[in-house]
Copies of this chain bind each other. A is one copy, B any other.
Amino acid sequence: VSVTDVGRGAVFLLTDYGNRDEFAGVTRAVVLDRAPDAILVDLTHEVPAFDVRAGALTLARCVGSLGPGVVLAVVDPGVGSGRRAVAVAVGGASVRSTARRAGPRYLVGPDNGLLGWAIDALGGATAAVALTPPSGPAGPTFDGRDLFAPVAARLWGGATMNDVGVPIDPGTLVRLADPVLRVTAGGPLEAEVLWVDGFGNVQLAAREADGDVAGLHGALEIVVAGSPHGGRRVANFDVLGTDELGLLVDANGRLALVCRRRPAATVLGVEPRDMVMVRPVSGPGR
């Protein structure tokens, strides 16, 4: 590995292939067959099957932490259909990046909205190409192996966008609907659940500033499917009592409903895409 190669960075993988089957392993092997010096970083392979929205949110949460390289993302219920496969070039300058080095230069995956919020987080697309489909005996069902991994390896190795596809207008890339968020001054705040993590924390489609507008400080009322729960604004998990619900600013700058060493999602009975309303107990919404 020369300094130049290390400078190329990593190939970052995010899929819904799971870790049980060999799909992720084969994708890794194909990248390394074509780019033997590449460093592979598995972001996750356990995006819920077919859940493009969850994959797009996950990728967007990751990109601010990534150094240079190529993102290979596959959550692709439309594999084998007419959906486009794309590579997208970005400036590599993330607004929120905490990485020491410049971020990824390319993202590769299906054109179904999976890449959109990550592209936004990396400063927007500077160019995009529709990938040339694989030739030869490739089947219709494993583009990770047959199309995306080879393209990611080529881009990592120095190929240009024009080497791997045909230019398209980045403005035509498929976009997912924005997460639902309604903020009223003094409350309430109504937000879509974006993510329930493995600890049961409930990330909302709202940021700290949204909570400030809605007056979400001190005691709170949290309403899910018509059922109210008490809670309070906190700075971390550990100040919460065993039975308490807290609202904090999480590691992505989002408001999240949490418990102390218990899954808040189970306590509240929520899952991604559910709506949650939060208001100050003394606020106008009460």
A-to-B contact residues, CB < 8 Å: 1, 6, 9-10, 12, 14, 17-26, 28-30, 32-34, 36-37, 39, 41-46, 49-50, 58, 61-62, 65-67, 77-82, 96, 98-101, 136-142, 145-146, 197-199, 201, 235-239, 248-253, 261
Q: If the complex has contacts A34-B100, A251-B139, are A65 and B145 also in contact, measured as CB distance less than 8 A? A: yes
Please, how many angstroms separate the alpha-carbon atoms of A237 and B18 in the complex? 19
Please, how many angstroms separate the alpha-carbon atoms of A50 and B190 in the complex? 30
Q: Which residues of B contact A18 (CB under 8 A)?
A: 198
Please, how many angstroms separate the alpha-carbon atoms of A12 and B101 in the complex? 22
In the complex, besides A10-B32, A23-B198, A26-B43, 6 extra interface pairs with C-beta distance below 8 angstroms are: A20-B198, A26-B65, A28-B41, A29-B43, A81-B236, A141-B236
Q: If the complex has contacts A41-B25, A41-B32, A80-B236, are A20 and B46 also in contact, measured as CB distance less than 8 A? A: yes
Q: List 14 interface pairs A-B (beta carbons < 8 Å), by A numbering.
A: A19-B46, A21-B197, A28-B42, A29-B65, A29-B66, A30-B99, A50-B261, A65-B145, A79-B237, A81-B238, A137-B253, A141-B201, A141-B248, A145-B251
Contact B37 A1 (CB under 8 A): yes
Of the candidates B20, B32, B250, B251, which one forms a contact with A44 in the assembled complex, judged by CB atoms under 8 Å apart? B20
Please, how many angstroms separate the alpha-carbon atoms of A160 and B58 in the complex? 35
Please, how many angstroms separate the alpha-carbon atoms of A248 and B201 in the complex? 40
Of the candidates B29, B46, B145, which one forms a contact with A10 in the assembled complex, judged by CB atoms under 8 Å apart? B29
Q: If the complex has contacts A139-B253, A199-B49, are A32 and B67 also in contact, measured as CB distance less than 8 A? A: yes
Q: Which residues of B contact A23 (CB under 8 A)?
A: 197-198
Contact A236 B79 (CB under 8 A): yes
Please, how many angstroms separate the alpha-carbon atoms of A261 and B28 in the complex? 24
Q: How far is the CB of A77 from chain B (nearest CB, A)?
A: 5
Q: If the complex has contacts A1-B37, A236-B141, A250-B139, are A43 and B25 also in contact, measured as CB distance less than 8 A? A: yes
Residue of B nearest to A38 (CB): B39
Please give me the 5 A-B residue pairs with the lowest Cβ-Cβ distance, nearest first.
A80-B236, A81-B238, A142-B251, A25-B43, A33-B67
Contact A238 B80 (CB under 8 A): yes
Contact A36 B22 (CB under 8 A): no
Q: Which residues of B contact A12 (CB under 8 A)?
A: 25, 29
Q: If the complex has contacts A20-B198, A198-B21, are A140 and B99 also in contact, measured as CB distance less than 8 A? A: no
Of the candidates B14, B33, B77, which one forms a contact with A261 in the assembled complex, judged by CB atoms under 8 Å apart? B77
Q: Which residues of B contact A238 (CB under 8 A)?
A: 78-82
Residue of B nearest to A80 (CB): B236
Q: How far is the CB of A6 from chain B (nearest CB, A)?
A: 5
Please, how many angstroms separate the alpha-carbon atoms of A253 and B77 in the complex? 20
